[in-house]
Amino acid sequence: MSTLKLGLLPFEVSVCGVSELPNFAGQVSHVIGILDPGTARPSAYAELGAGHHSEFRFHDIVTPDPLRLAPSPADVAAVIAACEAVLDSGPGHVLVHCWAGISRSTATATILMALRNKGREADIFAALAAIRPRSWPNSLMIRQADRMLGHGGALVAAMEAHHLSVARQHADMRDLMHAVGRGHEVPASLQ
């Protein structure tokens, strides 16, 4: 699916998990991938045919954990820089992925759209829902990006509304967030 219909970006954006990468073989101009530290690069990368590839390594966590690497401000700044480079190069189709295509990748796709759409935060999350209905953007990444990009809390508020909408529509997402230690992100009205 594309964000073109909402006029947010002049190119197509797709979001997926590692298992879905082969579905995009030869179809993308840019890939932005987020993987856990220490995991192997997906073999499907070779088939994507992307001219530009950015890869980041941090865990999908939103609170400090001594055993895992949270997305730091430096990581989010690097993601923002990669997204800026994508915007500056005028690609035809950007693929953003993480392990499951639910959290880090959807936060990155949100950042990509937020770079050129300040004041349209609700539209950004409407576009994300169209691209990836079962999405739960990493809240730590979004909070950091909101500050760095000067959205004044509007990106965070739109993310929280998105989380509420997804939690209402997909009970399994509420269960998943609780199972991975992110139950505090599930709106209290749905706990």
How does pLDDT run across 63-94, given as a tens digit for each residue?
A: 989 999 999 999 999 999 999 999 998 768 99
CATH number for the domain spanning 161: value is 3.90.190.10
Single-letter code of the amino acid located at 23: N
How does pLDDT run across 15-63, given as a tens digit for each residue?
A: 999 999 999 999 999 999 999 999 999 999 989 986 789 999 999 999 9
Return d(Cα 59, Cα 52) in angstroms, integer: 23
> Which residues lie below 8 Å from residue 108, measured CB to CB, with a gap of 6+?
32, 34, 79, 83, 96, 98, 141
The domain tally of the chain equals 1
How does pLDDT run across 165-185, given as a tens digit for each residue?
A: 988 888 887 777 777 877 677
Strand stretches in 27-185, DSSP E: 30-35, 52-57, 93-98
**What is the overall mean pLDDT for the chain?**
91
**Beta strand 30-35 pairing with 12-17:** unpaired
Give the model's pLDDT for residue 99: 96
Confidence band of 2 (pLDDT split at 50, 70, 90): very low
120: pLDDT strictly greater than 80: yes
How many C-beta atoms lie closer than 10 Å to residue 151's C-beta? 20
Is the whole model's pTM more than 0.75, yes or no?
A: yes
Residue span of the structural domain in which 93 resides: 4-190
